Structure 1
Amino acid sequence: MTTGQYLAHVFGWTLLHFCWQGTLIALLLACVLALLSKHSPQLRYGVCCAALALNLVTLAITFERVAVNDGGRLRHAVVSPNGWFGGVPEDLVQVTPSRLDELEQALDHSLPVVVIVWSLGFALCVTRLSLGLAAARRLRLTGTMPASIEETHLFLALRERIGIDRPVRLLRSAVVQVPAVVGWLRPVVLIPIGALAGLSQVQIEAIFAHELAHIRRHDYLVGILQSVAESLLFYHPAVWWISHQIRKERELCCDDLAVSWTGDPVLYAHALFQLAAQRSNSPAITLNANGGSLTMRIRRLLNQNNPPAVQPFAVLSVLALAFIVAGVCFSSAQAQHSLTAVDRLNMIHAITGVHSVIDTASKESSDLMVAKVAQPAQPLLTTADLSTLAVADQKEQEKKKPIRVSASIMAGQIVSTVNPVYPEAARKARIEGTVVLHAIISETGDVMALQVLSGPTALLDSAIDAVQQWKYKPYLLNGQPIEVSTTISVTYSISDESSAVAPCTTQNSGCTMPVLLSAVEPEYPSQAREAKSSGVVIVSLTVDEKGTPQNLAVFSSAGHGFDEKALEAVRRYRFQPATRNGLPTVAELKITVNFQLF
């Protein structure tokens, strides 16, 4: 084997190993991002960048480990046709590769094709990156003109206030459709002709602040390095997902900086909405204010974030599973290059009780290792039989184990509840709190078993007596009712105003805010259409326990008949109700309704 063939062989195995390594890194990142959902975008951005860098480090370490181990691998022996010991002349047994070894050999033979396909894909990605850089450079030279004096003065004053010492040019462009940053050493901010029309000075300043935030954070350089990593690992979807998370968190970081420098998130959100109406055709290597999910960014600026979809308990469970999988995969990878034929015979001896004497003397005419084997005292099960029994036992255990379902989902399955009776002794002692129960729900929706997880001792019996009488709709999996486990929270309060519980808002901890299920497009007022006017109306409302809007009012008016049409549309919205302690409750929201003539 030549040096080139050897390196191609090692690199091919490195690419194959990265398939599970990249998936594991992405899974860990998803769990960490869920746990950090309440933290700053800057922290999540750093974690995402670290995950992408970890992919490259893992690739390099794997290449080194495979290169070291590959040279010392021993050949495996051949298997006897019947898979049993004994019955061959002179009681000799020839040990053969397992199915895992056969799979390894098949992959080994396909490595040249793997490396060739990767090389073609990498060349295409590098070509795409080069064309993107060239197109970004042309944007600075084609169809540009100096910005107006007022815009330039506002831009330069903001740059000095932010503390950017490098020279930054502001140009109008007839090519780009949204504001964008091009370049790192000599950055240029491109503003589409007419893009700032209709925006107030504060909104224009916020858009400039967003682009200057990209420059201050050196995001253009990070974007190029990110594209290089994407080109190297283009074949793995997890790398593209991590890269998408980096771009999303990058935009949120710049939004936060823009708001901190200008001080008005609502006006900035309105400016982003107007930019959203302009579709971008800028090269992927540019950085623009229209990046990321505009709906998510605007909702975030208006403090209407959706709660994290992943519960902390589920995240910790997935993290534990991921670490176990990582350990198993690492051990398998190590064993792949360290087990010899002697080790395999000794393992068989340990499992089956067959006594063997290993003769490792080299044979000039054969690569096989030979063992003299004594016949077993009693018949043995084959490896295939043992595997079949183990799989069948595992499936039987899984059938008996209830499936875990979150409290918020099971809250929507409730048919009837029984309110707990407040124990008189607990009331006199003014004992309050929440009892948390672990419940098993049968296929018919009955509460089968309850286990106390936490709560005041004086309230436990009352909570259990009440919850045992609750009734659920059967939980369906693949159309069949199944047994599930969940948690149920029962809250006790002595307050005389227990019926006047404050509605959920985005600031309430322990509340899950409503989720929009269906929306209605507002009718455009005829007088506004004739006047070619556009506007934004913010409607405040209450969503009741059934997900129906109540108490609608105009929070921010736009006039021209927009307010009435916005109220009519929002009144027909339908939501998944908010929940508190797993039960539906009332919540307060603000909905932005946009009227735009295209």
Structure 2
Amino acid sequence: MSALQLLLETTVKISALLGPALVVVSVWRFPSAASRHWVLAVAVTCALVLPFLVAVGPTWSAPSYFTPVAAVWSVPDGGSFIGGGMQAVTATTGPGPAPAGAPAPTVVPPGGGPSGRFPVASTLVTVWMLGVGLGLAVLLVRLVRLRWISGPSQAVVSGSWRSMADEVGSQLGLRRPVRLLQSRHPTMLATWGILRPRVVLPKGAQRWEPARIRVVLAHELAHVRRQDWLLHLFGELLCMVQWFNPLAWAARSRLRAEGELACDDEVLRLGVRGPDYATELVDLVRVLRTPRAHSSPAVAMARPSGFERRITAMMNPTLRRQPLLGQARLGVVAAALLLTVPLGILAQGAAAGLSGVVTDQSGRGWADVRLVLVPAGSSTRVATLTLKGDVQVLADEVRITEDELRLEELEKRALSGDDGVAVEIKRRLAAPGEEGGIYASTTDAAGRFAFEAIPPGDYRLSVQRSGFEPIEQAVTLGAGQQATQDIALRLAAVQEHIVVSVTSRAPRVTVADPEALARTQQALATERLQPPVKVRDVAPVYPASRRDQPSAAEVRLETMVTAAGVVEVESVVIQVDPDLLTPVQPEFARAAVEAVRQWQYEPTRLNDVAVPTRMMVTIDFAGS
């Protein structure tokens, strides 16, 4: 799955999690603020875990009922294709005319290819990463600023603040020690920290009345007991990752607001009267209000946002202020997990795609290259059959099963010139079915190809282009994945087959006629891939030592036609005695090598540049 697909899928699933939570806390008015805060806290925490479930968790693929079915590729009548290697052209015979209706070769300018398309996916991912980086930088700056402000603060170890903190902490059931810090900042009143929580007091707080001290400590220590600062950081991280998602910002804002209301309820449950608490809060907001109060990541009691709602809640004696009890809290967690886990592991069987560029060894794209995707492990066999005669039929995607006509028999009938086999081939063209269809694509002028609306699964990708080696690769496509795979073509080997009779007793040298050579080169001038043209041919001679008792022998030579047109013999394949491991008839190999080394070619030209080409030479010495 690509980064953009992961981001989009995660966003949709996070929205599906946060949306119901926001609806619940908006409609659920009767329970206390602590209950609504717990629902939002669980939803935000699950939303942070959800991307990890989507990325690395187990996947359950659900069937997709809206996936478009891709049609099987078919080739119009009259098309032809010869896969595999090139055939060298002999200039002495001259080339034949081009087949009627053959497509004109397309010349791709240097640099042509997919670079002309605007990279939308990578651009969107880059913008998202920049947003995440900016959010992370802002959060770090705020944390550093908080540390810088509280750094020179002095610990409060005695006096009215310390004794009141111990008393209120005992009433709230707080078991962890909380540090009180006296800062030099005149408006700094906040709580932060997880393992070692601390309450930072503003300058001049020593002169506050005991009633105000009790209200402030009750509110701040309630934040400590409820771990609000950790949940506040979760909200910040969610907005940092989902900075473009309005539901993330709404959840963060509502989480803060409900947290303040829940702590206000804790203060009222300790016996503080609502009007008295409201009076103290109004005075604190007036004294501590600062334009930069919102920039601190700490939990601040006198934050102006939501102030009116808090005052209204304090003055309403009918509101429920009890916290959510253990079983109810577990019920909210269980409900959130029942929604989060399926969302995390659910991967709808959405259609996948595969795209890329087919290039030659010089890096330039190639047009009209046929690519076929076949489901791995299926009983489908893909065959390319060229029928002899005026009418040629191409059948790629021929489905052959055990009970049907065997592929070898079909090939035999096709090569024997039986035109009636075309009807049988067309009848057996594959179509998407239970075993999965066969999909194909053809490259455009820049060498680009694309398979769209492909069911996820394992496939074999086959690539064929005349003059190049066929390629077959394994491809795995996940649900909704848009994979990219570029293909580099390699020149196929040139094939030469010669039969030498016993009567061949003297070297026969044939040199290309200049006019015939000129006509051949002119006919090939428009082709991007021009096969080698033999300009000097030397026929092998039947060995004299074998003429009295002739015997059949086959010699295969692996050679290289260099960019200068010279033939270099790289290896010789001949019959070997299995016991002695020595050549049975070395005379035939010497005769073959001696002749082939004297051949000369106009070299293969790729994009108008001479390139070396492998050549496989098979020489059959007749036995009679």
Question: TM tier, shorter chain?
Answer: 0.3 to 0.5
Greater RCO (CA < 8 Å, at least 6 residues apart): 2
Normalised to the residue count of structure 1, the TM-score between the two structures is: 0.43
Kindly name which structure, 1 or 2, has the bigger radius of gyration based on alpha carbons: 2
